[in-house]
Structure 1
């Protein structure tokens, strides 16, 4: 990548991380903070955590479509301003209901789609997949950072949870400065099939049964993750007598250790084409972890072992499910499928807060873990019907403009190249979206379709 692409990637990854930190920093501390508010109940605490996901899911696709019409940067800046406003509302609130309003407003700043589309507008086709992967990695890094920073910031000179909301406001304003000062304005706006939601493909993506199963999977694992954090911080503090300022001593080794265990699994899934098998195994690992926490959450050894198992499975699924969405979608609908998948993830966060809060209010901590085990088991049954995916490589090929005079003939000729499995031609971008079998690909024949200087 050239220097401009590195700058764009770093800046947009930082902007993307702002949103995710705003969600993840709250998870390990909010349930304990809610206990100090006079109008709080376990249900309202869950609603406050989860409603961020609801408004994210509602506004994500419309804001992505809007950015196609009025530009990426105005939508991103507007979304970050809305996020900052929600942070201020939540930071100054002394009522659970006002915090819920603030969290809902935060979620309205749903800028993931425009951010990815802006990255595609500003970078070359051959580097786009790599750049999207780097930006996507910020989700995992934000999760680890948020789980550790949340408890630390909340205890720093007594700033508490309001201090976290003020911090996320500062992050949002910093993101706006990055958009204005560090990110160029694209010369033109293009609707990218691999990096954005195309309205005309929504129906196709929603009729794909394998993709619907993947949407159910990301919904359920984020439901369970959110529900867990409605009760785990209180267990650590009240039952295990661990002060909240020291909760990071659990999160850091568990998250880092589980990530290290998950990495070989991720490599094995792709290199040995065992992704479906390991997905099912990781799902069963989550069932075991939830059952372990339900049965042994008053014993620190049992709890930590189950907590560790949960994040081994969760980290593997979080990393590989987007890969499966790309494998199950065709080349034209990949971006749209990923947008729906992301909305399902945020809906799962909302459902985890909403349902987890209700169950915690009625049946307590054990009820939350039992419920989580049941819904993950449901996902396992759903996942059993997933077909074996094809392990093709996605590529974007820059086309010789002279060949676009007859797109139908060009489509047939590209499909005739050994190793080319799927083709979608985007004449307005002068590119072709491909799925390739690299083992049998004729690179020389494929290169013949590109302009001489490409």
Structure 2
């Protein structure tokens, strides 16, 4: 009898609706989820700060007029992240989440310092490679799994996934201001400072939680690669970050030229674009969650990307039309950035959820690398080629997304 009462007290503090209480985050789950989302957001902000401004700001350093090297500098961290993501996730199983994430943030800080002291584009590429070695995304998502019960884990994962879109939104506004005030070197010092903030969060803020029963690798790669819905989601996040990096080889210069802005004032464009896109995104997110229409939301958001990207070349000489298309792009981007990690958590079997998240983060990193490199190579043939290539990739993604089946009505 005492055990029953204890269980009732834990799952339902008011003693009225234990089912509803079970779906609430406990205080420890809430603190852990918020702290880990903040950790992830701060780290991604440090990575994203370079993206909205670097193509223009790099012109101030030797080698910065080489579009291919600029693209490589933007995407270089993605390659080393892709290589190190699963090994560091496995190491976090063996040695603990906290020490591995702290180590990753130390490497991130070192890479940022190398970039801050760089006197040409080649040293910036080297620093970005070092930053990527500190690949801790899989370890962070595994820590979220450790800290939460299965019935609330999707919500916690969505918080972490949504923090990526928010980080990029903040970076769009903050990076032009930092470059305008402190220059490119100052931007890298700010990135290093964010890495230090992440280190402090990982070391002192995230609560201690028991190690999850499902470690980051509990099955073979074949298990994940044989799961068609997970493959679709991995391809999707690869495409999303490929497109993001590729078009931001073009976007800063395009907006500066059409609007007559210098790099320090690009935030005046980015801020209203991001605010409007977030406002217009809310009804879509609300509909998706209340109607559990995840498959529909996935298809519509990807189709929206195809249309917007295909229209960019037609609007490339009109400032307001280009800004309107960027609003559309970020509505779709923010929806997909929050939706896809949640879907991974929904469809991955518990036996290899951690490994599935590791592959997902690896695909994301590969997209960053490939998008930066390919975008840098294509831009020499004209900005329209970058947008059309991105639209073609988004169309292939749309075709694969239409086959997505699992999880659309899963109430997790």
TM-score when normalising by structure 1: 0.80
Partner of 1:393, secondary structure, is: coil
Asked if 1:367 is matched to 2:396, the reply is no
CA deviation profile, 1:176-212 (whole Å, cap 9, x unmatched) = 23333334445x534x43xx52241432111111221
Which of 162, 179, 189 lines up with 2:211 in the alignment? Answer: 189
Asked if 1:112 is matched to 2:112, the reply is no
RMSD after superposition: 2.2
Partner of 2:195: 172
The answer on whether the counterparts of 2:40 and 2:160 sit within 8 Å (CA) in structure 1 is: yes
Alpha-carbon offset, residue 372 of structure 1: 1.0
Which of 45, 56, 62 lines up with 2:87 in the alignment? Answer: 62
Alpha-carbon offset, residue 358 of structure 1: 0.6
Partner of 1:230: 249
Describe the shift of the 1:185–1:228 C-alpha distance in structure 2 as closer, same or farther (beyond 3 A): same
Which of 38, 44, 51 lines up with 1:27 in the alignment? Answer: 51
Structure (1/2) with the larger helix percentage: 2
Describe the shift of the 1:219–1:183 C-alpha distance in structure 2 as closer, same or farther (beyond 3 A): closer
Describe the shift of the 1:51–1:137 C-alpha distance in structure 2 as closer, same or farther (beyond 3 A): same
Partner of 1:446: none
The answer on whether the counterparts of 1:266 and 1:319 sit within 8 Å (CA) in structure 2 is: no
Which of 383, 388, 391 lines up with 2:401 in the alignment? Answer: 383
* Aligned mates of 2:345, 2:206 — CA distance in 1: 27
Q: Which has the higher contact order (CA 8 A, sep 6+)?
A: 2
Partner of 2:369, secondary structure, is: helix
Describe the shift of the 1:118–1:390 C-alpha distance in structure 2 as closer, same or farther (beyond 3 A): closer
Alpha-carbon offset, residue 175 of structure 1: 2.4
* Aligned mates of 1:46, 1:283 — CA distance in 2: 24
* Aligned mates of 2:55, 2:332 — CA distance in 1: 24
Which of 226, 229, 238 lines up with 1:210 in the alignment? Answer: 229
The answer on whether the counterparts of 1:240 and 1:298 sit within 8 Å (CA) in structure 2 is: no
* Aligned mates of 1:275, 1:339 — CA distance in 2: 22
Alpha-carbon offset, residue 388 of structure 1: 6.1
The answer on whether the counterparts of 1:288 and 1:306 sit within 8 Å (CA) in structure 2 is: no
Describe the shift of the 1:320–1:95 C-alpha distance in structure 2 as closer, same or farther (beyond 3 A): same
More deviation in 337-346 or 225-234?
337-346
Q: Give unpaired runs (5+ residues) of structure 1.
A: 395-454
Structure (1/2) with the larger strand percentage: 1
User: Larger Cα Rg: Structure 1 or Structure 2?
Assistant: 1
More deviation in 306-315 or 222-231?
306-315
Asked if 1:251 is matched to 2:274, the reply is no
Partner of 2:158: 133
More deviation in 222-231 or 309-318?
309-318
Alpha-carbon offset, residue 127 of structure 1: 5.3
Which of 30, 37, 40 lines up with 1:13 in the alignment? Answer: 37
Partner of 1:242, secondary structure, is: coil
Partner of 1:451: none
Alpha-carbon offset, residue 134 of structure 1: 3.1
The answer on whether the counterparts of 1:52 and 1:106 sit within 8 Å (CA) in structure 2 is: yes
